[in-house]
């Protein structure tokens, strides 16, 4: 099953028979006090820096979130999307919990976007799925609801089933549905990573759906996070994960993903691995 996303001039395909799609997470003001202050002051210059760094790091798409308190988020998100699209041709994942912001972002976006995100709550599906259908977008859905974030894979799958049936009822192709299998911090519970991996496996086996995950969540609160993320990503890919929202500026994690592409047979004859190696070598020698 392929999920095809695009900008005005570039197409990216997410699937289990193509290279893994890295969605850069950096264009998000959460936890970034200086970035938030600049955005409140109508200064979008940090976006230019973050786009350049993520493109150089090897991202295939970019997640754009402008959730800053005390701002007009719909207007800010629309401006940010226009700016990002003037800087790169990478497709965009439009990230907001505010329906008006999603609408504003989708209205100005040139191409087919991924919407981040939707939960299994009836109220959220009622307002987000018509918007996804209106703009012919794809949707990233999380298997939690108004009462809980399930810890066990079997409980997450109950909500996945609900989401799948609702998406089908709305007349939206399952190619346009991605599931977030929920990466929870392993530092909070040693079983969290295993539960996530089991969820990935079950979603792949039962539905064949594409998936994306907040990759850095698994290492939250622990030291040496890049090493943990770099170890986790190939495990998740071997279970069926096909994309992730992650820090594309981190060579250890990006290289682990690209190595897994090669080892899982998604990089035919190592073409991408060899070309990336040569490009990095030239960059170091220049």
- pLDDT digits 0-9 by tens, 49-106: 999 999 999 999 999 999 999 899 999 999 999 999 999 999 999 999 999 999 999 9
Q: What does pLDDT average to over the chain?
A: 95
> If we measure between CA atoms, which residue out of 78, 73, 141, 72 comes closest to residue 107?
78
Q: Say if residues 61 and 74 touch (Cβ distance below 8 Å).
A: no
Q: What is the mean pLDDT of residues 116-130?
A: 95
- pLDDT digits 0-9 by tens, 248-263: 999 999 999 999 999 9
- pLDDT digits 0-9 by tens, 210-220: 999 999 999 99
**Alpha-carbon 25 to chain mean position:** 7
Assigned CATH class of 3-285: alpha beta
Quote the pLDDT of residue 278. 84
Residue 30, token pair as written in the block: 């959460």
Q: How far apart are the first and last CA of the chain?
A: 41
- pLDDT digits 0-9 by tens, 10-19: 999 999 999 9
**pLDDT band (50, 70, 90) for residue 280:** confident
What three-state secondary structure class fits 151? coil
Quote the pLDDT of residue 276. 85
**pLDDT band (50, 70, 90) for residue 47:** very high
Q: What is the mean pLDDT of residues 163-191?
A: 96
Quote the pLDDT of residue 24. 97
Token pair 């629309």 is at which residue? 78
Quote the pLDDT of residue 277. 86
């Amino acid at each position: 099953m392929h999920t095809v996303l695009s900008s005005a001039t570039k197409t990216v395909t997410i699937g289990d028979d193509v290279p893994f799609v890295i969605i850069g997470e950096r264009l998000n003001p959460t936890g970034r006090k200086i970035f938030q202050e600049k955005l409140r002051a109508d200064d979008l210059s940090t976006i230019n820096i973050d786009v350049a760094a993520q493109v150089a790091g090897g991202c295939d798409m970019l997640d754009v979130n402008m959730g800053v308190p005390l701002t007009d988020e719909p207007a800010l998100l629309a401006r940010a999307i226009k700016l990002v699209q003037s800087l790169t041709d990478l497709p965009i994942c439009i990230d907001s919990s505010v329906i008006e912001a999603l609408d504003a972002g989708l209205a100005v976006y040139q191409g087919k976007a991924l919407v981040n995100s939707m939960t299994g709550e009836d109220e959220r599906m009622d307002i987000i799925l018509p918007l996804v259908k209106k703009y012919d977008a794809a949707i990233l859905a999380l298997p939690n609801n108004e009462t809980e974030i399930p810890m066990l894979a079997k409980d997450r799958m109950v909500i996945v089933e609900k989401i799948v049936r609702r998406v089908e009822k709305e007349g939206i192709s399952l190619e346009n549905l991605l599931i977030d299998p929920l990466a929870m911090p392993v530092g909070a519970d040693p079983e969290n990573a295993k539960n996530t991996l089991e969820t990935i496996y079950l979603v792949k086996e039962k539905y064949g759906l594409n998936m994306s995950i907040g990759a850095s969540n698994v290492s939250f609160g622990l030291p040496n996070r890049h090493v943990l993320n770099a170890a986790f990503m190939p495990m998740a890919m071997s279970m069926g994960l096909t994309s992730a929202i992650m820090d594309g500026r981190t060579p250890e994690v990006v290289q682990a993903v690209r190595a897994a592409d090669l080892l899982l047979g998604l990089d035919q004859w190592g073409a991408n691995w060899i070309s990336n190696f040569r490009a990095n070598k030239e960059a170091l020698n220049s």
